[in-house]
């Protein structure tokens, strides 16, 4: 029996339990990606330092913490490649931070609340798969 191909593993940093679990469950059920979860940037830092991931889906509502994480990621401070794909999520419109994230190569920013389909399309694009 052949083993199914492994899914890309992304780190999801999202403090809201229901949103986090919904994202993880739907992505796994559809066989798109596998997520490892962190409830905050503080909890994500040691995880990023310890193992590489294919990509990162990051809640950016804590602007200072998420900006620090992204700056450290892009400087090569973690086990992940410095150019790892990143998708940001935020409930706060902030054109200046959006422009900064775009300038450092963040794939995009989804505004909360968003449809799960929009997030999954972005994750599929990050993983190099067609919808």
Q: Are the beta carbons of 84 and 9 closer than 8 angstroms?
A: no
* Residue 81 lies inside a defined structural domain of this protein: yes
Q: Are the beta carbons of 121 and 131 closer than 8 angstroms?
A: yes
CA 91/CA 106 separation, integer angstroms = 17
* Residue 25 lies inside a defined structural domain of this protein: yes
* Residue 1 lies inside a defined structural domain of this protein: no
* Residue 4 lies inside a defined structural domain of this protein: no
97: CATH: 3.40.50.2300
* Residue 2 lies inside a defined structural domain of this protein: no
Angle at 14 between CA 8 and CA 17, to 5 degrees: 110
* pLDDT tens by residue, 60-78: 999 999 999 999 999 999 9
Domain that holds residue 122: 9-126
CA 94/CA 101 separation, integer angstroms = 11
Residue 1 has pLDDT above 70, yes or no: no
Q: Are the beta carbons of 23 and 57 closer than 8 angstroms?
A: yes
CA 50/CA 89 separation, integer angstroms = 24
pTM of the model as a whole: 0.92
Q: How many domains does the chain have?
A: 1
């Amino acid at each position: 029996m052949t083993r199914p191909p492994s899914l890309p593993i992304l780190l999801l940093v999202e403090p809201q339990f229901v949103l986090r679990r919904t994202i993880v469950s739907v992505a796994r059920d559809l066989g798109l990606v596998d997520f490892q979860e962190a409830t905050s940037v503080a909890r994500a830092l040691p995880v990023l330092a310890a193992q590489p991931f294919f990509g990162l889906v990051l809640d950016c509502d804590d602007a200072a913490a998420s900006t620090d994480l992204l700056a450290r990621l892009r400087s090569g401070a973690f086990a992940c490649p410095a150019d790892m794909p990143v998708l940001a999520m935020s409930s706060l419109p902030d054109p200046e931070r959006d422009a900064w994230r775009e300038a450092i190569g963040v794939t995009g920013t989804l505004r909360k609340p968003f449809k799960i389909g929009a997030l999954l399309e972005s994750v599929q694009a990050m993983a190099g798969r067609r919808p």
